[in-house]
Amino acid sequence: MGGEELPGVSRTAVWVAGMRAAESERADRLFDDRLAAAFVSAAGGGIVPQTAGPPGTSEFLAVRARFFDDQARAACGAGIRQIVLPAAGLDCRAFRLDWPSGVRLFELDLPEMFAFKEPVLASVEAVARCVRVVVAVDLRGQWAQPLIDAGFDPGAPTAWLAEGLLPYLQRADGERLLATVTELSAPGSRAVFDHLETTAAERPGMRAVSEVVRQVGAQLMPTADSPADWLTGHGWQARLFRLPALAEEYGRSLPADVDLVASNAVVVITADR
Ligand SMILES: C[S@@+](CC[C@H](N)C(=O)[O-])C[C@H]1O[C@@H](n2cnc3c(N)ncnc32)[C@H](O)[C@@H]1O
């Protein structure tokens, strides 16, 4: 399957893989994703837009990916050995992170995504550094049972890493997703999400990102007015991290002309049960 056959929302995975490939070439890279370039080249031209996005987009994606890497490591440090990536896309954490023994990592995404991803991984003979299980599902539907059937243990604490998913779901779908994640989360579980606050909808910076996403074939949507309240309502304790502060922490300066209000409305959330 070529990249042209990917649904619009899955083409966003090629777009972000392109930015991970570029980040991996930098001397001061925040992570090294050597497989990202293989996906971009297999997808062919015409999928990745000419522009990465408005000022701050590539910095945001690099900082976000590194933050999720660090959260994965922290979860393992806390003894968690079951990792789930809802909307894994072209994520290669299974291949590039140094997992402790006993880790089982489940990747969830649409069937078309894996029809594209798996042959590319096979073509470069990529070898996972943990037990990697692929579960082809639509996260707007019933995905709990397929995940359990694939070997997921609802009795074990889990780290959920949903990077770049919520902004592509309608609110009702996001709501159902969180309810299912909560049901499947044994005590000691963690979740990491990113999301867009409604406050940014009309900001020039956000409109420009939405336009790039639209060109790729998908739509960006805000998730909830207050993600902390949303998670608390589902029984999680949430912490919010905003892009400009995270970028500073990782030593990645944002361009001077970045839309700071829009950047501050992009939130990465960690939640514990
Ligand atoms: C921006 S990409 C992020 C991929 C990956 N997490 C990353 O950061 O590279 C969005 C991903 O969400 C997936 N996705 C969107 N809606 C989905 C749905 N309803 N069910 C399953 N996957 C979905 C797409 O296929 C795509 O891989």
Q: For residue range 96-106, list pLDDT tens digits in order.
A: 999 999 999 99
- For residue range 196-239, what is the model confidence (pLDDT) as tens digits? 887 777 788 888 888 888 888 888 887 677 888 889 999 999 99
* Contact in structure between 240 and 227 (CB atoms under 8 Å): yes
Q: Judge whether residue 182 has pLDDT over 80.
A: yes
Ligand 1 centroid–CA 89 distance in Å is 5
Residue nearest to atom 14 of ligand 1 (CA): 87
Half-sphere exposure for 41 (CA within 13 Å, toward CB): 11
- Phi and psi based region of residue 129 (left: phi greater than 0; alpha: psi -120 to 50; beta: remaining): alpha
Ligand 1 centroid–CA 90 distance in Å is 9
Write out the DSSP string of 42-54.
Answer: HH-TTSS-SS--S
Q: Which atom of ligand 1 has the smallest separation from the CA of 6?
A: 25
Q: Using DSSP, state whether 270 is helix, strand or coil.
A: strand
Phi, psi of 43 (to 5 degrees): -70, -20
What is the identity of the amino acid at 203? R
Q: What is the Cα–Cα distance from 204 to 158, expressed in whole angstroms?
A: 38
Q: Which of 6, 14, 110 to mutate to test the pocket of ligand 1 (most atoms within 8 A of CB)?
A: 110
Ligand 1 centroid–CA 260 distance in Å is 26
pLDDT category at 68 given cuts 50, 70, 90 is very high
- The candidate with the shortest Cα–Cα distance to 267, out of 248, 236, 239, is 239
Q: Using DSSP, state whether 109 is helix, strand or coil.
A: strand
Residue nearest to atom 2 of ligand 1 (CA): 13
Q: Return the DSSP state at 101.
A: T
What is the identity of the amino acid at 253? S
Q: Which of 48, 117, 165, 223 to mutate to test the pocket of ligand 1 (most atoms within 8 A of CB)?
A: 165
Q: Among 10-14, 107-111, 216-220, whose mean pLDDT is lowest? A: 216-220
Please tell me the predicted confidence (pLDDT) of residue 93: 98
* Contact in structure between 195 and 269 (CB atoms under 8 Å): yes
Mean pLDDT for the stretch of residues 64-91 = 98
* Contact in structure between 163 and 65 (CB atoms under 8 Å): yes
Q: Judge whether residue 195 has pLDDT over 80.
A: yes
Please list every protein residue whose CB sits less than 6 Å from any atom of ligand 1: 9-10, 12-13, 16, 87-91, 109-110, 113, 138-140, 163-165, 168
CA R_g for the chain: 17
Ligand 1 centroid–CA 13 distance in Å is 6
Ligand 1 centroid–CA 236 distance in Å is 23
Q: Which atom of ligand 1 has the smallest separation from the CA of 113?
A: 25
Q: Which atom of ligand 1 has the smallest separation from the CA of 15?
A: 1
Q: Which atom of ligand 1 has the smallest separation from the CA of 17?
A: 9
**CA–CA–CA angle 255, 261, 263 (5° rounding):** 55
What token pair was written down for 208? 């420009």
Q: Report all structural domains of the chain as residue ranges with CATH numbers, in order of start.
A: 3-272 (3.40.50.150)
